[in-house]
Amino acid sequence: MWCCCCGQFLQRQKVLGLYRDLLRNIRKIPQESDRRYLRDWAREEFKRNKSETDQDVVRMMVTQAQNHLEDLRKSLALAGC
């Protein structure tokens, strides 16, 4: 049986995993100032949106974060990092 609480728990786990992946990839950036900027940006974005409860909005933000992560991974691959 699917309930509201289970869905929110799974969504929260997905968001936390995405956050960890983003921070892990940011650590690979060679330039310290760029690393710091992106780390601060990611932390602020996730903190600012942590109280969002509208599941459609959360899904949209997850998709945007996944796109940012994919762009970061591509940039790191091109840079040979």
pLDDT in tens, the chain (81 residues): 445 556 677 888 999 999 999 999 999 999 999 999 999 999 999 999 999 989 899 999 999 999 999 999 999 999 988
Nearest partner of 69 among 24, 32, 35, 4, judged by Cα? 24
Residue carrying the six token digits 């969504």: 11
Statement: the pTM of the whole predicted model exceeds 0.95: no
Cα angle: 12, vertex 27, 18; to 5 degrees = 15
Q: Which two tokens stand for residue 9?
A: 């728990």
Nearest 10 degrees: CA dihedral of 1, 19, 45, 69?
-110
- Helices marked H in 1-81 — which ranges? 4-26, 32-48, 55-78
